[in-house]
Amino acid sequence: MKAQEHIDFQRIAEAIDFMRQHFTRQPELAEVAEQVHLSPYHFQRMFTEWAGTSPKKFLQYVSIQHAKKMLKEEQATLFDASMETGLSGTGRLHDLFVNIEGMTPGEYKNGGAHLSINYSFAESPFGNILVASTSKGICYMAFADDGAKALEDLQQHFPNAQYRQMLDLAQQNALYIFTHDWSKLHEIKLHLKGTDFQLKVWETLLKIPMGKLTTYGNIAQKIDRPKASRAVGTAIGDNPVAFLIPCHRVIQSTGLLGGYHWGTARKTAMIGWEATRLFEDMRI
């Protein structure tokens, strides 16, 4: 990400965080703009270019009341239906992820020995991102505010693997998700290192449709472990593939957004960004 684009996203993230903290009084445009040291005019233009909607409308999407409303309306039967069917239509994700292939026990234990991993850095609406793949699929995706630290974290996941900085077809297909050009998406396969429990949780996350939210308790129910909400939360926190496995769509049962490995402001931005695009799809 170019330096200016990084600064712009940081300002947007700060603005979103401010709106999230003060949503109950619906702050005016000028107040939010002042927080990020911009004129109302320049902030409105920058934000609208990034989100595709005005700051005022975006605030409505990401407020805690919006989250509570979604949960209240999402009765168990609707939740089951959305989890099973996803969203249909040419402009939406549907049956995108064919499967999750777990590492073999040997690959799991030996830290990725004999694995060849390609990795590259790319831009996203939410900041720089690091994406990595094996010959079987995407194995890692993380926001990379610090590129060197992000690469170090990847190497800690697979300390014995062979690494090459190269953008391959699997990574390109995965990154199309940020362009909203679903017509270019092919089957995205994931090659993940995790326990059976973790893989089951991550697979369940993949079935949450864009623009929908669910809770840790609902995920626990879905995998037939109704008393395992805490363990589910841990597995979600260990998600190695940012955004593609949408752990940002899981919130607390109270309606609070809860934490996020890559920052609550970024989680809020993702929820609002998806909501605006879903709204635009429905208008078409």
123 by DSSP, 3-state: which?
Answer: coil
* Domain end residue (candidates: 193, 209, 228): 193
- Ramachandran angles phi, psi of 47, nearest 5°: -65, -45
The sheet carrying 162-165 orders its strands as: 97-102, 188-192, 137-143, 129-134, 116-122, 162-165
> How many domains are there within the chain?
3
Query: Could you tell me which residue, 98 or 277, shows the higher pLDDT?
Result: 277
Provide the pLDDT for residue 6: 64
Asked if residue 127 and residue 84 are part of one domain, the reply reads no
Asked if residue 237 and residue 187 are part of one domain, the reply reads no
For residue 166, pLDDT beyond 90: yes
Q: What is the arithmetic mean of pLDDT over 201-206?
A: 91
Asked if residue 121 and residue 176 are part of one domain, the reply reads yes
Asked if residue 154 and residue 227 are part of one domain, the reply reads no
pLDDT band at 65 (very low <50, low <70, confident <90, very high): low
Comparing C-alpha atoms, which of 177, 178, 217 is closest to residue 201? 217
- Ramachandran angles phi, psi of 164, nearest 5°: -145, 130
What residues contact 109, with CB distance under 8 A and at least 6 apart? none
Residue in the block written with tokens 């929820």: 271
Q: Cβ distance 267 to 257 under 8 Å?
A: yes
Asked if residue 109 and residue 189 are part of one domain, the reply reads yes
Asked if residue 187 and residue 106 are part of one domain, the reply reads yes
Q: Which domain holds residue 10?
A: 3-62
Asked if residue 144 and residue 17 are part of one domain, the reply reads no
Active site residues: 247
Asked if residue 204 and residue 175 are part of one domain, the reply reads no
Q: Report the amino acid identity of residue 232.
A: V
> Of 30-44, 66-80, 94-108, which one has max mean pLDDT?
30-44
The CATH number assigned to the domain holding 34 equals 1.10.10.60
Asked if residue 79 and residue 216 are part of one domain, the reply reads yes
**Six token digits for residue 130:** 């690091």
Asked if residue 98 and residue 85 are part of one domain, the reply reads no
* Domain end residue (candidates: 165, 193, 221): 193
Asked if residue 213 and residue 202 are part of one domain, the reply reads yes
Asked if residue 187 and residue 108 are part of one domain, the reply reads yes
Distance CA(214)–CA(205), nearest Å, equals 9
Distance CA(80)–CA(69), nearest Å, equals 18
Provide the pLDDT for residue 5: 62
Q: Cβ distance 63 to 21 under 8 Å?
A: no
Q: Cβ distance 152 to 255 under 8 Å?
A: no
Instruction: Please write the tens of the pLDDT for every residue from 263-281.
Output: 888 998 888 888 877 666 5
85 by DSSP, 3-state: which?
Answer: helix
